[in-house]
Amino acid sequence: MTSLEDMSAEARSGGPLAQRAAARLMTIMTDQPQRLAELLAGSRDWPQPRLVLGITGAPGSGKSTLTDRIATEVRRRRPDSRLGILAVDPSSPFTGGALLGDRVRMMRHATDPQVFIRSLASRGRLGGLALGAKGVVRVMGLIGCETVIVETVGVGQSEVEIAGNADLVLVVLAPGQGDTVQMLKAGLMEAGELFVVNKADRPDAERLHQQLLTALETSYFARHDLSFGADEKMDCNEVLTDPPKVLLCSAAEDQGIAELVDELERLAELNAERWLARREEQAVEEVRQAVIEEVRLRVLHAVGDNNGGPARLRGVLAGSESLDTLVDNVLVELAAPN
């Protein structure tokens, strides 16, 4: 079997097999997410993306359409640089669950050799989804994608976690997709560093825009406690920025996209150093999660269906062995040389 290191070198080489090696690496990250640790260990001097953008929001708000538009605009501005798209959304056109029109639209990027598209279906997966997504993002960075866009539907813990792992989280809202109160409940408001009110071609978009501005200002001032001497209350390490921007776009009609990409470029420039440092911290966290995932798999095997597992579990039910003892025994067995 080819090692991750060889595969990585191949993927970076730009040679005839590079595309396939990159695709294989991404598949390995999805199927065996714990191997991310191995990948990171061999990648210290590799290139880093300029921007890992998380795009999240309610289903139907227009995340995929917006992703497509942003990708087109970024490709236009940076014709020589690669771009990666990861969709973690079972209904995404990238995963095949969408209308024919959406799929046809995405095909434009599918034939662009500088664009790498991957999808992860979050349904029916047990563990390691978030880690798998991080692995795919790392591979995209390592093969030279300057921009990586991660689309996740803004429901569920792991999806929010995946978006939160990006350098910058863009939250998409659209009229008719639930109100700002619901967003607050879903924790999306706190996660967002930049907001887009999409479907500006709809008459009620302007009202949503105003609502969101008010809600964001209120929560921003409350968070920074600006009504009392802000200087004393502020954490010294915290960079005090302006309240997050809210842009009005129509992804369908290609309006406001250039302004959005301008803002993304501005933020990437402004935060370059901070994001690099943060990604380094995240690598440590990714190794931690890889350790946990590997241990989880081994334990799962030890109490699995083919390994006398059910009998041992029944022992706990029958009271012949306590849970603690079973766990201790499993750990001792796992540690024993075999």
Interaction site with Mg ion (CB under 5 A): 63-64, 89, 92
What pairs with residue 195 in β-bridges?
Answer: 171, 246
Assess contact for 120 and 30: CB atoms under 8 A: yes
Burial of 101 (0-12, 13-18, 19+ CB in 10 A): exposed
The Cα–Cα gap between 50 and 317 comes to 53
The nearer residue to Mg ion, 89 or 286, going by C-beta atoms, is 89
Site track for ligand GDP across 204-243, x = CB under 6 A: ----------------------------------------
Neighbours of 40 (CB within 10 A): 21
CB of 93 to ligand GDP, least distance (A): 6
Q: Give, rounded to a whole angstrom, the gap between the first and last alpha carbons of the chain.
A: 23
Of these partners, Mg ion, ligand GDP, none, which one is at the site of residue 62 (CB under 5 to 8 Å by kind)? Answer: ligand GDP
By the rule CB under 6 A, 201 interacts with ligand GDP: yes
The Cα–Cα gap between 191 and 161 comes to 9
Nearest residue to 191 via CA among 218, 211, 219, 210: 219
The nearer residue to Mg ion, 64 or 282, going by C-beta atoms, is 64
By the rule CB under 6 A, 138 interacts with ligand GDP: no
CB of 202 to ligand GDP, least distance (A): 6
By the rule CB under 6 A, 119 interacts with ligand GDP: no
The nearer residue to Mg ion, 146 or 151, going by C-beta atoms, is 151
The nearer residue to Mg ion, 64 or 289, going by C-beta atoms, is 64
How many residues touch ligand GDP under the rule CB under 6 A: the total is 17
Beta-strand runs (E) in 59-111: 82-88
Site track for ligand GDP across 42-81, x = CB under 6 A: ---------------x-xxxxxxx----------------
Taking CA 168 as the corner, what is the angle to CA 167 and CA 169, rounded to the nearest 5 degrees? 130
3-state class of 116 per DSSP?
strand
The nearer residue to ligand GDP, 253 or 333, going by C-beta atoms, is 253
Tokens representing residue 201 in the block = 């071609």
CB of 86 to Mg ion, least distance (A): 12
Q: What is the largest CA-CA distance in the chain?
A: 68
Q: What single letter denotes the amino acid at residue 170?
A: L
Site track for ligand GDP across 146-185, x = CB under 6 A: ----------------------------------------
3-state class of 179 per DSSP?
coil
Give the residues lining the site for ligand GDP (CB under 6 A): 57, 59-65, 98, 102, 198-199, 201-202, 250-252
